[in-house]
């Protein structure tokens, strides 16, 4: 890597860390609770996937918070009476209201007379800032919903306990039928050397949005299942807009460029890339060179274009884009924009196509227990377990447009699937899903990857192998260790 390139990229990463630190300080000064977010028809209510990462120590398996030891589960049910559980989460708006309702119903009806107090922060950075303030005051909540890397940034002072003994306990845990109802793709990111650091609660999927009607008019009867088919359809749409009489849409039509790290991970997975759970990832691999070299080629052909507006909804509804990458939580907003634009086009959800098939990526926060006493730990576990019940999961799905952790929740979602068939298409893609890591290593690496692919697509002289080599070197440098 040349001195000038390294200096430029270091400045870019340093600037992100500085902004992150400022956000953390602001959050500690005046933490906000029950933050309302805009309606999902204008913006998503889940945490922003492009939130600036917090600066962390060397992101390896060893940097994960030390887990609290789990006592023997020999607690009597009557010992739980009157225990209050403080539950904090990163959502706002409708999701907050739904969680409040779930918690209230649990508090009023559970046989152990446990009471749950809910605090909502509207985003993960705001929640992390509040946790930092809690550390100073010695008032850590008993149950936290957040990506584990946010806790890793706070050090060993916030130590989630191993939930596997609870999960498998014959009295307090999941029976065989309930355990089998949970997809392993949701549990795997939280499995660490024989332990379970968290329970999945609201998994999200990153996918491609696809205009089926327009594609059929262009001569294609199905979404692209391979990279070759993707290139063909994206370029055909771009050429169609260039050839029509509307000059305003010239230079559009294909795939909207999206450098969100989750989207890049989706392309990487589609070309066979693997992201290790807790090791420092590498991208200068056959899969990385193939995936990002493919995007560079399609981009240079003019079949990938850069949007001016931050949201893709109007472009998609107006046939400025045949495809764009997004998450399931964007479905209601896209539905509303199609109606507002008067579009009659049929559209749906599809996976990222690669040379040998297609993939989607899933990720989401985990439910982590940080309570100290055995009674508080068990009380927090019982509410966390309740949040994974099919009934509660169906409520969360409809508020957040996430995936159900329990597949049996689909029995209560027939009307929802009928109203939003695209969401149902996302559920059908679960057999093609690959989980994203939950580690601090990925939290760091994803922003360096984003910076590298931005440079790759913005420079006519960049070579994919050179860029990915620099990306890997920088990840190792900032990680502070060599695997």
HEC string for the chain: CCHHHHHHHHHHHHHHHHHHHHHHHHHHHCCCCCCCCCCCCCCCCCCCCCCCCCCCCCCCHHHCCCCCCCCCCCCCHHHHCCCEEEEEECCCHHHHHHHHHHHHHHHHHCCCCCEEEEEECCCHHHHHHHHHHHHHHCCCCCEEEECHHHHHCCHHHCCCCCCHHHHHCCCCCCCHHHHHCECHHHHHHHEECCEECCEECCCEEEEEEEEHHHHHHCCCCCCCCEHHHHHHHHHHHHHHHHHCCCHHHCCCEEEECCCCHHHHHHHHHHCCCCCCCCCCCCCCCHHHHHHHHHHHHHHHCCCEECCCCCCCHHHHHCCCEEEEEEEHHHHHHHHHHHHHCCCCCCEEEECEEECCEEEEEEECCEEEECCCCHHHHHHHHHHHHHHCCHHHHHHHHHHHCCCCCEHHHHHHCHHHHHHCHHHHHHHHHHHHEEECCCCHHHHHHHHHHHHHHHHHHHCCCCCHHHHHHHHHHHHHHHHCCCC
| Residue 69: pLDDT over 60 | no
- Quick: pLDDT tens for 336-354: 999 999 999 999 999 999 9
**pTM to 2 decimals?**
0.84
- Tell me the pLDDT of the chain averaged across its residues: 86
- Quick: pLDDT tens for 267-287: 999 999 999 888 899 999 999
| Residue 50: pLDDT over 90 | no
CATH 3.40.190.10 range(s) for the chain read 32-49+57-203+365-405, 205-362+440-479
- Quick: pLDDT tens for 124-158: 999 999 998 988 888 899 999 999 888 777 777 77
- Mean pLDDT across the stretch 1-23? 40
Of all residues in the chain, the percent with pLDDT exceeding 90 is: 73
Of all residues in the chain, the percent with pLDDT exceeding 70 is: 84
Please tell me the predicted confidence (pLDDT) of residue 72.
Answer: 58
* Choices 3.40.190.10, 1.10.3720.10, 3.20.20.100, 3.90.25.10: CATH for 205-362+440-479: 3.40.190.10
Q: Which homologous superfamily does the CATH classification assign to the domain defined by 32-49+57-203+365-405?
A: Periplasmic binding protein-like II (3.40.190.10)
Please tell me the predicted confidence (pLDDT) of residue 17.
Answer: 41
């Amino acid at each position: 890597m040349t001195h000038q390139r390294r200096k430029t990229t270091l400045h870019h990463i340093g600037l992100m860390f500085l902004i992150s630190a400022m956000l953390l300080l602001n959050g500690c000064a005046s933490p906000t609770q029950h933050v309302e977010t805009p309606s999902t028809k204008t913006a998503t209510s889940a945490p922003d996937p492009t939130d600036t990462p917090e600066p962390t120590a060397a992101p390896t398996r060893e940097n994960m918070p030390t887990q609290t030891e789990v006592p023997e589960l020999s607690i009597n049910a009557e010992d739980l009476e009157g225990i209050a559980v403080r539950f904090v989460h990163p959502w706002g708006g409708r999701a907050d209201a739904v969680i409040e309702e779930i918690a209230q119903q649990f508090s009023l009806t559970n046989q152990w007379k446990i009471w749950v107090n809910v605090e909502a922060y509207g985003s993960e950075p705001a929640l992390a800032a509040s946790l930092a303030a809690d550390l100073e005051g010695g008032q850590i909540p008993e149950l936290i919903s957040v990506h584990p890397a946010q806790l890793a940034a706070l050090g060993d002072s916030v130590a989630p306990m191993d939930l596997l003994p609870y999960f498998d306990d014959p009295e307090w845990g999941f029976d065989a039928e309930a355990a089998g109802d949970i997809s392993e793709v949701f549990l795997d990111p939280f499995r660490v050397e024989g332990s379970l650091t968290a329970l999945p609660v609201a998994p999200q999927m990153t996918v491609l949005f696809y205009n089926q009607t327009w594609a059929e008019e262009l001569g294609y009867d199905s979404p692209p299942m391979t990279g070759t088919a993707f290139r063909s359809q994206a370029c055909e749409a771009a050429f169609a807009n260039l050839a029509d009489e509307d000059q305003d849409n010239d230079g559009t039509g294909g795939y909207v460029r999206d450098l969100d790290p989750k989207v890049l991970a989706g392309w990487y997975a589609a070309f066979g890339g693997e992201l290790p759970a807790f090791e420092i990832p590498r991208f200068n691999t056959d899969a990385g060179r193939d995936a990002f070299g493919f995007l560079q080629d399609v981009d240079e052909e003019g079949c990938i274009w850069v949007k001016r507006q931050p949201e893709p909804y109007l472009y998609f509804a107006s046939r400025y884009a045949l495809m764009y990458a997004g998450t399931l939580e964007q479905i209601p907003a896209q539905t509303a924009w199609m109606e507002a634009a008067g579009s009659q086009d049929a559209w749906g959800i599809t996976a990222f196509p690669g040379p040998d098939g297609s993939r989607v990526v899933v990720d989401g926060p985990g439910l982590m227990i940080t309570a100290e006493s055995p009674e508080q730990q068990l009380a927090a576990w019982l509410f966390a377990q309740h949040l994974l019940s099919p009934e509660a999961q169906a409520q969360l799905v409809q508020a957040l447009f996430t995936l159900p952790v329990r597949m049996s929740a689909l029995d209560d979602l027939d009307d929802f699937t009928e109203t939003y068939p695209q969401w149902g298409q996302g559920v059908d893609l679960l057999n093609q899903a690959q989980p994203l890591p939950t580690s601090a290593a990925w939290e760091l690496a994803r922003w360096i990857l984003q910076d590298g692919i931005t440079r790759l697509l913005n420079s006519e002289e960049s070579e994919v192998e050179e860029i990915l080599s620099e990306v890997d070197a920088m990840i190792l440098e900032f990680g502070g260790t060599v695997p």
